[in-house]
Every structure is written in C-alpha cells, then in structure tokens.
Structure 1
C-alpha cells in the first residue's frame, strides 16, 4: 500500500521536495540526502548467472537499502540482502549479509565536479551459502559534468575481507541526463582477492520527484568474472 501510494500520489504534492536518488550500476552517486530526508532502495530482484566448471548457477536477490540524510554532507545507509534464491549446483535459499555505511559528499569549488566517499562495514549475518563474512570497504566516486547532459565518472574501491584485500577501478560515461531520464555505460576491473572484468550500462527514470525506477546489466568478460548480472530496482522517499 505504501508503494502504491508513492507511485500514484499527485505530482504537485512533491513539487518542492525533490530527492537526489542514487544511481544504479557499479559506482555510487556523489549526492547525499538532505538532513532528515529518508529513502528506500529496493531490488525487484537482482539476478546473476555464472557458467563455470560445466555447471550453471543463478541467483535472485531481494536487496534493500535504507538511506538517511544526517547533515554536514553526511548520509547513513543500512543495507541487507533480504532473501536469496540460488538454483543450479548447489540449490539454496535464505537471508544474505547486512551492511552499515557512511557516505560523505566532499566539498568542491567547481560546479562541474563532484566527489564522495563511502565507508562500508559488512557483517557476515547471512546463511553460509550466501555470506562472505565480515568485511570493510572504502569507495570513492568522482564525477565531471559535460555539456548537453553528458558526463564522465570514475569509481575507485578497496576492501578487505576473509579472503584478503581486493580493489576495483570503474570508469563510466553518462550518455544522457536531463533530470528525468539518465542512461550510462560503464566498465569494471577488479583484482586482488577478487577478479572481475565487466562491461555494461543502465537507465534510471525519475518517475516522480519521490520515485525512481532503474535497470542495469553487466556482462563478464573473462573466465574469472560472473557471466551476467542484471538488476531492476525502485527507490522512493518516505
């Protein structure tokens, strides 16, 4: 009922209270919520598929993220893989890990440049089949605005978990962003404890000032990468 109300409430009721929702894909957006603003991001669900060793494994994941603007350019985030269904070898289902994160939008004197840090602690709360154990992670997103609604960005990340230290570099290019529609392409290169080579893109539709729909797709480029990762999501303010 809450979701239905958010989708179909009159636009005029939200005209003065627009929210900068996060972007889909590998990187995170450089904006934070205003003090006291609260948003819920929900996967509908996400899907991944991997063919390796002669076996095919697929996962559907209902992931949820709650965001709260704290002020002083800070935002608190709580996330959990609420439920995971895995088919193939082996079959399994159950809850996934949870995360606590703090995002800081760094100051910038250039209107065409923005950057932000995101520090994350992951707790190994999920079922053994879906848990990666306790982990710490720090990511940075940098974004440069270009004319005609275009832009370039760079995402950098380093994390440490039970398997060791891993890192990721992900450049992205915004093809179009008019405040209502946003489309982008991106690549991801990870090394260390995790190895990934990915290419993909996505789209976000700001359906209402307080509602966003988004979709993303990533294709693994080598044997060490997950073959396909796809996501459908909705974000709305409460």
Structure 2
C-alpha cells in the first residue's frame, strides 16, 4: 500500500465522525488551513497576485540577493457536506538573483497538488476541526519545483472566542523522499473594523536531519461580501544567518 493510499484510508475513516461541515471560510492567506468546507455545487478560487519571497545569503563571502514571484492558486469544491476536493498549482514563477554585481533571471512553472479535506464534527458551536490529506506532485520546471513529491496529512483546530477574536492551530506531517518533517502553526485572528480583519501566526518546522526553523507572519483581510475577499500578508524567517522575507497579495471568490 502506497503512502498516498494510507493517508486516503485514514481520511476516509473519519467520515463517520462528521455529520456536518464547519461554516465556509477561505484558506488564504496564512501558512495553515481553515476548518471550513466548500459547499457542494460551489467552487472556491483562491489566487495569489502574486506571492513574493526575498532572501539574502552569503556565497563564498559575497552576498546573493534573490527575489521570487509566483502566481499560486487553489481550487476547492465540495464533494459532500463535510468533505471537499482541493486542486492547487504554484503557477508561473519568476526569479531575479543579484550576485557580485551581476543579475540573472529565470522563469518557469511550479508544481501541482491534490488534496482532500474532511471536517470533523466536535458537537461544539465554538470549536471546529478539519483534516487535510495532500499530495504535491513535483511536475514544475527546474528552480520552481520541490524536485521530489511530498505527501502530507495535517489537522486544523479552531476556536471562536467571540465575534472579535478567534484562535487556532494547524499541525502538518509530511514525507519527501523518505524524510519526515513536522510543522506547527498557532494562529490568532481578530476583527479590526467593519469588513476588515487581521491575523498573526507563528510557524515552527523541524525536518529530519535539519535544524529547527521558525517564522512569524501577519496579514489583513477585507471581505468584499460573503463570497469574495482581498488579502495582504507579510512574514519573516527567524532561523539561521540568512535573511528571508515573504509577502503577498491575493483575492478569493466563492462561485
């Protein structure tokens, strides 16, 4: 039995535990994922406009600066009232590297992914949970791909303290080329004013035979209406000597 088949079996076994899906919510922005399920017969389209990464690192004593842009996208559709199918694509990417006074450019297409998200009914008005099994298929061009497929299973738990404040945590376990990694992402969401809300998150990751990795992220979300939103986010990696920053704009629609 393959790793993907095992994860699918685990996910399918939770169906009987859930009698209804959590209220719908978009999964972007942020590193984790929400507990909401796309309603049956509807399509959620979540689009980066674009996402950006900036890194500074030293190579042979000289500093290299790299900017990467990619138009990542995620499509979600409901299969049942408590399960959805996700199809992702990292989209078109572009990089520019400055090193020793020279600039180099590259462009290409990123990887694709497929996932199943299952809501778990906890019989609690304020507490919700979902499980996501996902396979990232390394089909992208060189420099824009993970190179090896990644299989992961994650859980997301959210608690709605009030209309103004909610919190949650995403736990993700992934395997790539036989090597495991675990990521924990506690998150705090807050209502700012009217249709404007924000979030802050801490990202912890430990990969097999690798050092610990830490990061902070924060962003704003503006709800155009019940079926559309705009978002902006920024983040920073805190580990190692290299400087690494992340930012992005996005839009999401529910059709």
Q: What's the TM-score, normalizing by structure 1?
A: 0.86
1:45 aligned to 2:59?
no
Describe how 1:109-124 pairs up with structure 2 within 5 A. 109-124=123-138
Q: Equivalents in 1 of 2:156, 2:73: separation in Å?
A: 21
Number of corresponding residues: 221
1:92 aligned to 2:106?
yes
Describe how 1:177-196 pairs up with structure 2 within 5 A. 180-193=195-208, 195-196=212-213
Aligned to 2:184: 169
> Which residue, out of 94, 98, 119, partners 1:105?
119
* Structure 1: gaps spanning 5 or more residues: 1-17
Greater C-alpha radius of gyration: 2
Query: 8 Å contact 2:24–2:36 — kept in the other structure?
Result: no
Is the partner of 2:72 in helix, strand or coil? strand
Query: 8 Å contact 1:48–1:226 — kept in the other structure?
Result: no
Residue by residue, what CA displacement relative to the aligned partner does 1:185-230 show, whole Å, maximum 9, x if unpaired? 1100101146521012111111022211111111111227761011
Query: 8 Å contact 1:166–1:191 — kept in the other structure?
Result: yes
> Which residue, out of 27, 36, 52, partners 1:31?
36
Q: Which shifted more, 202-211 or 107-116?
A: 202-211
Aligned to 1:212: 229
Query: 8 Å contact 2:168–2:188 — kept in the other structure?
Result: yes
1:67 aligned to 2:76?
yes
Q: Equivalents in 1 of 2:194, 2:160: separation in Å?
A: 13
Query: 8 Å contact 2:35–2:130 — kept in the other structure?
Result: yes
Is the partner of 2:143 in helix, strand or coil? helix
Aligned to 1:229: 246
* Structure 2: gaps spanning 5 or more residues: 1-22, 99-103
1:108 Cα shift? 1.4
Segments of 4+ moved more than 2 angstroms: 18-23, 177-182, 193-196
1:162 Cα shift? 2.8
